Amino acid sequence: MSRIRASLLGLWVAAACGGPGPDTAVVVRAVDGDTVDLDTGDRVRYLMVDTPESTTEVECYGPEAAAFNADLVEGVEVELRYDEELTDSYGRLLAYVSVEGREINALLVERGFACVLYIPPNGAGRRDEFESLEATARAQARGLWGACPEIPCN
């Protein structure tokens, strides 16, 4: 099969299967501060953020991050935007998640519930933005930056 034919076949299969992931879905459960389960059956890991653990172990500010995330997204329809790599090694979709135009990923960092987690190639175009949000949260001792003697997500 020619390269062009194989590429076209791949695009057709992706389109027929609904593409990389849903554009919108309802969050049925916030797993923790940076991961959610959707009504589509997909699990989504937020891009560019790392919140303290609250499931396998409990780290400083982990329960607060999980509760903040749940309050924002559980039972709500969210919009999902993807970057270059669509899934991680656990099969989770990697996305920026928004509710009514407000991006949850950036909000978690801005409010001090998360640290920046940059894993290229995803987030290359937004790295400075997220690092600036974190620097401001850190300088103003927001969230985990004021509450935790040791920062669990660095």
Which of the residues are catalytic?
45, 53, 92
Question: Which residues does residue 27 pair with via DSSP β-bridges, in sequence order?
Answer: 38, 74
> What values do phi and psi take at 28, rounded to 5?
-90, -25
Question: Which residues does residue 99 pair with via DSSP β-bridges, in sequence order?
Answer: 102
DSSP characters for 54-100? -SSS--TTHHHHHHHHHHHHBTSEEEEE--S--B-TTS-EEEEEEET
Structural tokens at position 97: 């998640």
Structural tokens at position 132: 């600036």
Q: Are 131 and 81 in contact (CB under 8 A)?
A: no
